[in-house]
Amino acid sequence: MNIYYYLFYKLSGVLNKKGKNEWGPIAAITFFPFVNIIAVFVNALPNNVKDLKNGYGVGLLLIGSVLFITNTILFLNKKRCREIQKRFQGESLRSKRIGNFVVLIYITLTIISIFIA
């Protein structure tokens, strides 16, 4: 199972219920991994990185832009989105509950990492 596609499937189930809001799940699938990248980046590098006034801010901006462009290319493709929906719609109730729990934990930890970093 592709975890990234599964995360997109779960987020689009919440943010794109009517099927007309492709940008909501794309923004979310960009936001959460980008926040994780920032948290790792800020904690892994020296303390002078936290102000981001030097070149690190530009690097993070480039990483975020590349991530957004990649997600846009991946998930604006209607055929791929239908394949993802079809692939995960047939999951069992137990699998769906476990998936919802794991995605909820991931989102919660990501939001907590915003305040920690």
pLDDT digits (tens, 9 = 90+) for 13-22: 888 777 677 8
In a domain, 26, yes or no: yes
CB 92 within 8 A of CB 13: no
In a domain, 14, yes or no: no
Tens of pLDDT, residues 27-58:
999 999 999 988 887 777 666 555 556 667 77
Structural domain including 97 reads 3-8+19-116
Query: Which residues are within 8 A (CB) of 22 and not within 5 positions of it... i.e. 6 or more apart?
Result: 16, 75, 76, 81
Q: Does the residue 54 lie in any domain?
A: yes
* Residue 75 domain-assigned (yes or no): yes
Picking from 40, 62, 50, the residue whose alpha carbon sits closest to that of residue 110 is 40
Residue 13 covered by a domain: no
Structural domain includes residue 73 = yes
| pTM (two decimals) | 0.80
61: left (phi over 0), alpha (psi -120 to 50) or beta: alpha
- Please indicate, yes or no, if residue 47 is contained in any of the structural domains: yes
Q: Total structural domains in the chain?
A: 1
Angle at the Cα of 26 from the Cα atoms of 84 and 93, rounded to 5 degrees: 40
